[in-house]
Amino acid sequence: MGLVERATAILLRPREAWAAIDTEPATTGQLFTGYLMILAAIPAVCGFIGLSLIGVGGMGYRFRVPFASGLASMVLSYVLSIIGVYVLSLVINALAPTFGGTRNPLQALKVAVYASTAAMLGGVFSLLPLLAILGLVAALYSLYLLYLGLPVLMRSPAARALPYTAVVVLAALAMGLVMGAVVSLVTPSAPGLMGGSGGAPAVSIDTPQGRVTVDTARLEEMGRKMQEAADKATQAAQSGGAPGAGAAAAGTSSAGVAALKAALPASVAGLPRTSFNVHDGAALGLAISQAEAEYGSGERTVNVSIVDGGPMGQLAQMAGLVQGESETQDSVEKTWQDNGRTMQQSYAKDGSHAELRAILKNGVLVSVEGTNVPFDQVQAAMAQIDLGALERLQRPAAKQP
């Protein structure tokens, strides 16, 4: 069964899925390379995009994790999440006799890998701080999947499934604390760090902050793309490529800063461009290009940022899985879809801060942020940027190993 079909089954029909998983042949390598290593990339990459490229904050405050720290955190989180699932399988296997079950390392690994599906897929919501509450939903649903899977695969009595799950969860929480402490060594602290969730047919969820709509058709589409990327990476690795070659093979490189810089207007909202900075680097085989400019000075400024993360940036399209809006006495936030683009706005009603972001069809991220500039002028500034041209950017082909 393919990744998308298995993820869909375990999320929507967990009892039937566990029964099928129990009897199907599998190897440790298949569970890791064909499933876990693909899904584990979602929270790691989306966390990097959300914290280092998009940023966290609003209403006049924006925090972005420094680029190098964000990359280091992404890789470390990815590796630790895979290790964590494996260690969890060891705990599940060791505890099986205590709760009337039978030890079986492969079955324990199946439980740990597939029960983590909801939490891993939920990492997509790390892109948008507005959706942080869905991280809790993902974690809780993964616990439910664990509860259903333990008695089936580990042969423990159904009556003892709850205490078995509780003890495993305590072990997972302990591991989570350790992993969080390790990741925090390379990531500056920031408000609003969160995970996310997914895993039902297209649904609307009412939260204290407003209504959020989850589009799982897009989730399946992104799952297929990730499967294709993983296949390319595997082929590159089998051909003996250098470290990082597999990652590069999983997609095209970024477009380079020249095209991004050319897209920056000379002036916006009647304010002249006062500064700009660009960088084009490659790290871990994944190229990143960014061009950023500031307009105006003093108390009235506009900042425009255009980021092309190549294959990593294309994963930002997963933000299209969700839509939502919220409004308070002082502020407005909204996320919606516009002809295949994901748009997100936030502004203070007193005009002190406004921001409009666009995730384009090819994954390029465009952000316009104004201080003491009305939201309609921020919208006009975004309209000055040729988003269609950015979507037509010709990325250089990735070098083959």
pLDDT digits (tens, 9 = 90+) for 130-149: 565 676 778 788 989 999 99
* pLDDT score of 389 more than 70: yes
Q: Are residues 185 and 113 in the same domain?
A: yes
Average of pLDDT values for 296-321? Answer: 70
Per-residue pLDDT of 87-127, as tens digits, reads: 889 889 988 998 899 999 999 999 999 999 998 988 887 77
Residue 238 is assigned to a structural domain of this protein: no
Q: What DSSP element (H or E) covers 272?
A: strand 271-283
pLDDT-derived band at 322, boundaries 50, 70, 90: low
pLDDT for 376:
93
- The single residue listed with the structure tokens 């993902």 is 138
Last residue of a domain, one of 161, 183, 199: 199
pLDDT-derived band at 261, boundaries 50, 70, 90: confident
Q: Are residues 72 and 165 in the same domain?
A: yes
* pLDDT score of 386 more than 80: yes
Number of domains making up the chain: 2
Residue 108 is assigned to a structural domain of this protein: yes
pLDDT for 103:
93
Per-residue pLDDT of 276-293, as tens digits, reads: 888 764 433 345 677 889
Q: Considering the entire predicted model, what is its pTM?
A: 0.50
Average of pLDDT values for 315-339? Answer: 72
Residue 396 is assigned to a structural domain of this protein: no
Q: Are residues 350 and 292 in the same domain?
A: yes
pLDDT for 248:
34
- The single residue listed with the structure tokens 């989180």 is 77
Q: Are residues 187 and 73 in the same domain?
A: yes
Q: Alpha-carbon torsion 96, 101, 103, 106, what sign?
A: negative
Last residue of a domain, one of 199, 228, 258: 199
Residue 217 is assigned to a structural domain of this protein: no
Q: Are residues 162 and 265 in the same domain?
A: no
Per-residue pLDDT of 119-135, as tens digits, reads: 898 888 777 655 656 76
Q: What percent of the chain has pLDDT over 90?
A: 25
Who has greater pLDDT, 224 or 366? 366
> What count of residues does the chain have?
401
Q: Are residues 314 and 191 in the same domain?
A: no
* pLDDT score of 199 more than 50: no
* pLDDT score of 397 more than 80: no
pLDDT for 92:
93
Measure Cα distances from 160 to 94, 106, 139, 174 in Å: 15, 21, 21, 22
Q: Are residues 293 and 378 in the same domain?
A: yes
* pLDDT score of 155 more than 90: yes
pLDDT for 153:
95
pLDDT for 108:
94
Structural domain including 382 reads 249-391
Q: Are residues 189 and 114 in the same domain?
A: yes
Average of pLDDT values for 268-279? Answer: 87
DSSP per-residue codes, 255-303: --HHHHHHTS-SEETTEEEEEEEEEEEEETTEEEEEEEEEEEETTEEEE
Residue 210 is assigned to a structural domain of this protein: no
SS3 393: coil
Q: Are residues 92 and 186 in the same domain?
A: yes
Residue 206 is assigned to a structural domain of this protein: no
Give dist(CA 90, CA 385) in Å, integer. 53
Residue 243 is assigned to a structural domain of this protein: no
Report the mean per-residue pLDDT for the chain. 74
Give dist(CA 341, CA 362) in Å, integer. 9
Residue 397 is assigned to a structural domain of this protein: no
Last residue of a domain, one of 199, 218, 236: 199
